[in-house]
Chains A and B, each alone.
Chain A
């Protein structure tokens, strides 16, 4: 038959074409190795689908450790700075392709989870509104805390989100790049869900102000988030080293400040003020937090701290970074203590003893999961004392 096949004829279903194709196909497959990426070292026993689809997609030369390509970059920045380079971070690795998302999520799995969360959010809000739960929220909590301070916390999440743009550009590995973009998206999702909650409240409660004006004013000019804002600005734009950005945001600021604000303030207190709407959203954020924690602990602890050649050096650098970012974070938490004077105190819940206990939980968790693994010595009791000095 003619080799010209116009008109959208398809080789799979057109009998004439199919005959020619089948005749050309070898009687038995030419290669027995059918495993894609068979040459790589998997994290577990076998190469999984995530590793197949993500690992070594990045074409870096071998002078960036782990790269399989050779030679120089074919086009550089004006002035000759290379596309990607080892100098983009102070951290050293024997193989920048080593990181894994512990949940092995490639794109399809990641969006599937989030899509389910969105559908469930929609169903939850419908049931919540039809059920009339909104009537039970304490008005001060609702109008001031959710309206202003939760709204203002959205800016912290949005700023942290933006701190992922340059690491998405600059990092040196493929699984790293994908993880960084995903944990970044979770942060803007948090900011958006905070706004979603406020918009939802505005639909149910006449007069509730959903605009971002007041929260933004609180974030940029108020005292409660002053330390937080300054820290976020420094993580987002003041820092160039992509590993330091991630370390500052995810190994120091968020597990301390973020965890206190989300878990120990909004999540824990909301039900005492008749609010069982906020826990729905915060719990999603806590899920993202725990997934992100798995990812960043893999980056910094499993890979960099345990690196066979550079582990000791990396650990000492992480200690230095902790020295740099911890005081700012403690200061942010201290400023945040100002919020307790804005709400009616509930004995055993939002009094000083309860706050101290909550801080204890956050600092203990952080010490166990973040400080101890890099041998970082820290006096958490002193830090809690400093934070508490912010109580008005």
Chain B
């Protein structure tokens, strides 16, 4: 074999310097943008009205192996804490029972969001043309698998170690019964994966992640730890370390379409719709989980909301995108009103429908009533009195034969479901801004609670056809629906859901519900 000049040069170089040489991730990444090539059929399978630029770069320049290394280091720390010291101190049995219940919902519903984000970012990986932009979305695909597993791990841990495993152990089967589920699917599932790819990115990354991740994943850790839960901060803060990259992905989506003419036409409308979609569910549900799902209070939800959503996101984050023509959503002002009362309205309904949950709910105590009144003046006259009445009628006691949903019926306060957000509302008994709007289409009635959702439906009714729980269960008796949805504990008859978390209180069974003879009716039929 002939010795080439290059081999000779390499040999000479070695004679001078034998220092070990390796290759860093960045040295590989800098070639990534050239990995693709042009060909006829090279276009996305998910149409978008925007055009993502071919030269879009990513901010976090990872290659596959370096990604794995980083995440693996975080995993070691996180699972090490959980499996070692937290288990030894029996931490799952030092969590306040109310919070134990909240984590059944929070972790499982977040899991759905994480899970759907895998598919959502898979779609974006397909839609982007620039390899770097694809790579950013790809990293997120993997992250969201991580987060799905992590959320599952919380329920797994609480089921194995904690005080009430029911609901933690089977949320994935029983979660679909109740009134919070479909709304969750709108924001966390379909809103991320079904639509114009850029619209989905705006829902997921620009709003879901950049706006609601902070209250959802960061603020929740403060409430958790105040209520004795150190598992959730251990896992959720580790999730949060990945979210920065996801917010950056959302930012890059906007950068990639900034020069496209379509952006000036549609971007702000899509953003406004996405913001309203996300806030319509998260604003009430998060507020409700924190305030009504805890014993110890960190701060009123409205303050958290104003800080993270209004100032941080609506002001700073959106402000930063101003140079690309992005404006603060027009619906932000209405949302701000929701942040004050919507979660109180929703809890009233959620508590009234407690048997359909996969968790135990608790009526506000006298101490809590005081806290609510102090932070939300007017709370007592609207909600406090109702809870007192329900308590007096024995709503916590299986012998009472009283379910609070009866109160809504007796007082002629029908509960409707907003077709677009799938969030339940009671127009005749609420302090929030909901107003009843009913429209007919293709022989079917649809109720709406606000103008923003109604507008989305009016322009594209075929996107929002999903039946709600009242339509689905119409004419069926409550205990039957619960049994069919597996809402019972391992003894086969005690409900997973309960209207109290008192350790001395009796637990309701299917028979207790059956005796009452509660039958689902579709309120739209009565109109």
The answer to whether A and B belong to the same complex is yes
A residues sitting closer than 8 Å to B (CB atoms) are 3-6, 8-12, 17-18, 20-22, 24-27, 29-39, 52-59, 68-84, 106-108, 110-115, 117-119, 121-122, 125-127, 129-130, 132, 134-135, 137-139, 142-143, 154-155, 158, 162, 164-170, 174, 177-178, 181-182, 184-186, 188-189, 191-193, 195-196, 199-200, 203-208, 210-213, 216, 219-220, 229, 233-234, 236-238, 240, 274
Question: B22-66: contact bitstring with A at CB < 8 Å (1 yes, 0 no)?
Answer: 110001110110111111111101100000000000000001111
Q: CA separation between A359 and B340, bound complex, in Å?
A: 71
B523 touches A (CB below 8 Å)? no
Structural contact, A108 and B75, CB atoms closer than 8 A: yes
Asked if A205 meets B10 with Cβ closer than 8 Å, knowing A118-B65, A185-B138, the reply is: yes
Q: CA separation between A166 and B43, bound complex, in Å?
A: 12
B451 neighbours in A (Cβ, 8 Å): none
Asked if A12 meets B119 with Cβ closer than 8 Å, knowing A130-B20, A135-B11, A188-B138, the reply is: no
Interface-centre pick from A36, A58, A195, A210 (highest chain B CB count, 10 A): A36
Shortest CB-to-CB span from A217 to chain B, Å, is: 10
| Interface positions of B from 94 to 145, Cβ below 8 Å from A | 94-98, 111-112, 115-116, 118-120, 122-123, 125-126, 131, 134-135, 138, 141-142, 145
Structural contact, A11 and B226, CB atoms closer than 8 A: yes
Known: A5-B297, A70-B472; 7 extra A-B contacts, CB below 8 A, are A29-B163, A36-B155, A59-B116, A71-B466, A114-B65, A129-B20, A142-B6
A234 neighbours in B (Cβ, 8 Å): 41
B503 touches A (CB below 8 Å)? yes
Shortest CB-to-CB span from A88 to chain B, Å, is: 11
Contact of B194 among A75, A126, A139, A220 (CB under 8 A): A75
Q: Could you list 23 examples of A-B contacts with CB < 8 Å?
A: A3-B295, A3-B296, A8-B225, A25-B94, A25-B97, A26-B97, A30-B489, A33-B169, A34-B160, A36-B160, A53-B153, A56-B172, A76-B465, A115-B65, A134-B14, A158-B35, A164-B122, A165-B134, A169-B123, A177-B122, A185-B138, A189-B63, A212-B34
Contact of B190 among A68, A83, A178 (CB under 8 A): A83
| Interface positions of B from 141 to 197, Cβ below 8 Å from A | 141-142, 145-146, 148-149, 152-153, 155-156, 159-160, 162-166, 168-170, 172-173, 175-176, 182-183, 185-186, 189-191, 193-196
Question: B333-358: contact bitstring with A at CB < 8 Å (1 yes, 0 no)?
Answer: 00000000000000000000000000
A168 neighbours in B (Cβ, 8 Å): 118-119, 122, 125, 141
Structural contact, A21 and B227, CB atoms closer than 8 A: yes
- Which of B320-328, B378-386, B456-464, B508-516 forms part of the interface with chain A? B456-464
Structural contact, A112 and B296, CB atoms closer than 8 A: no
Structural contact, A52 and B156, CB atoms closer than 8 A: yes
B480 touches A (CB below 8 Å)? no
A32 neighbours in B (Cβ, 8 Å): 165, 490
Shortest CB-to-CB span from A249 to chain B, Å, is: 15
Shortest CB-to-CB span from B225 to chain A, Å, is: 5
Query: Closest 3 CB pairs between A and B?
Result: A168-B122, A11-B228, A126-B20
B229 touches A (CB below 8 Å)? yes
A134 neighbours in B (Cβ, 8 Å): 10, 14
Q: CA separation between A87 and B14, bound complex, in Å?
A: 60
Q: CA separation between A55 and B172, bound complex, in Å?
A: 9
B residues sitting closer than 8 Å to A (CB atoms) are 1-7, 9-11, 13-14, 18-23, 27-29, 31-32, 34-43, 45-46, 63-69, 71-73, 75, 79, 89, 91, 93-98, 111-112, 115-116, 118-120, 122-123, 125-126, 131, 134-135, 138, 141-142, 145-146, 148-149, 152-153, 155-156, 159-160, 162-166, 168-170, 172-173, 175-176, 182-183, 185-186, 189-191, 193-196, 222, 225-230, 295-299, 367-368, 371, 422, 460, 462-467, 472, 486, 489-490, 501, 503, 507
Structural contact, B94 and A22, CB atoms closer than 8 A: yes
Q: CA separation between A233 and B40, bound complex, in Å?
A: 9
Contact of B196 among A35, A78, A213 (CB under 8 A): A78
Interface-centre pick from B169, B422, B460 (highest chain A CB count, 10 A): B169
Shortest CB-to-CB span from A243 to chain B, Å, is: 15
Asked if A30 meets B14 with Cβ closer than 8 Å, knowing A17-B226, A139-B2, A185-B64, the reply is: no
Structural contact, B111 and A115, CB atoms closer than 8 A: no
Structural contact, B7 and A139, CB atoms closer than 8 A: yes
Structural contact, B503 and A25, CB atoms closer than 8 A: yes
Q: Which residue of B lies closest to A232 (CB)?
A: B39
A191 neighbours in B (Cβ, 8 Å): 35
Shortest CB-to-CB span from B365 to chain A, Å, is: 8
Q: Which residue of A lies closest to B227 (CB)?
A: A11
B168 neighbours in A (Cβ, 8 Å): 36
Structural contact, B169 and A11, CB atoms closer than 8 A: no
Shortest CB-to-CB span from B294 to chain A, Å, is: 9
Shortest CB-to-CB span from A198 to chain B, Å, is: 9
Structural contact, B34 and A4, CB atoms closer than 8 A: no
Shortest CB-to-CB span from A128 to chain B, Å, is: 9
B112 neighbours in A (Cβ, 8 Å): 57, 59
Q: CA separation between A184 and B75, bound complex, in Å?
A: 22
Q: Which residue of A lies closest to B193 (CB)?
A: A83
Contact of A74 among B119, B190, B460 (CB under 8 A): B190
A26 neighbours in B (Cβ, 8 Å): 97, 163-164, 503
Q: Which residue of A lies closest to B182 (CB)?
A: A74
Contact of A53 among B7, B63, B149, B298 (CB under 8 A): B149
Q: CA separation between A84 and B122, bound complex, in Å?
A: 13
Structural contact, A165 and B173, CB atoms closer than 8 A: no
Q: CA separation between A48 and B505, bound complex, in Å?
A: 35
Contact of A11 among B40, B96, B464 (CB under 8 A): B96
Interface-centre pick from B35, B69, B163, B371 (highest chain A CB count, 10 A): B35
- Main secondary structure on chain B at its contact with chain A? helix
Structural contact, B194 and A82, CB atoms closer than 8 A: yes
Q: CA separation between A178 and B22, bound complex, in Å?
A: 31
Shortest CB-to-CB span from A107 to chain B, Å, is: 4
Shortest CB-to-CB span from A52 to chain B, Å, is: 5
Shortest CB-to-CB span from A67 to chain B, Å, is: 10
Contact of B7 among A69, A71, A82, A137 (CB under 8 A): A137
B4 neighbours in A (Cβ, 8 Å): 139, 143
Shortest CB-to-CB span from B114 to chain A, Å, is: 8
Q: CA separation between A191 and B167, bound complex, in Å?
A: 44
Asked if A36 meets B189 with Cβ closer than 8 Å, knowing A75-B194, A76-B194, the reply is: no
Structural contact, B72 and A5, CB atoms closer than 8 A: no
B43 neighbours in A (Cβ, 8 Å): 237
Shortest CB-to-CB span from A287 to chain B, Å, is: 13
Q: Which residue of A lies closest to B75 (CB)?
A: A108
Structural contact, A73 and B122, CB atoms closer than 8 A: no
Q: Which residue of A lies closest to B78 (CB)?
A: A108
Shortest CB-to-CB span from A11 to chain B, Å, is: 3
Structural contact, A8 and B94, CB atoms closer than 8 A: no
Asked if A111 meets B71 with Cβ closer than 8 Å, knowing A35-B159, A169-B126, the reply is: yes
Q: CA separation between A222 and B384, bound complex, in Å?
A: 77
B170 neighbours in A (Cβ, 8 Å): 36-39
Asked if A35 meets B94 with Cβ closer than 8 Å, knowing A185-B142, A206-B13, the reply is: no
Shortest CB-to-CB span from B19 to chain A, Å, is: 7
Q: Which residue of B lies closest to A197 (CB)?
A: B23
B295 neighbours in A (Cβ, 8 Å): 3, 20-21, 24
Q: CA separation between A220 and B296, bound complex, in Å?
A: 64
Asked if A129 meets B13 with Cβ closer than 8 Å, knowing A17-B228, A73-B194, A107-B149, the reply is: no
Structural contact, B67 and A75, CB atoms closer than 8 A: no
Asked if A233 meets B42 with Cβ closer than 8 Å, knowing A71-B466, A165-B125, the reply is: yes
Asked if A34 meets B123 with Cβ closer than 8 Å, knowing A10-B225, A206-B6, the reply is: no
Interface-centre pick from B28, B34, B503 (highest chain A CB count, 10 A): B28
A121 neighbours in B (Cβ, 8 Å): 22, 65
Structural contact, A59 and B196, CB atoms closer than 8 A: no
Shortest CB-to-CB span from B307 to chain A, Å, is: 14
Shortest CB-to-CB span from A112 to chain B, Å, is: 5
B460 neighbours in A (Cβ, 8 Å): 78
Structural contact, A31 and B123, CB atoms closer than 8 A: no
Q: Which residue of A lies closest to B34 (CB)?
A: A212
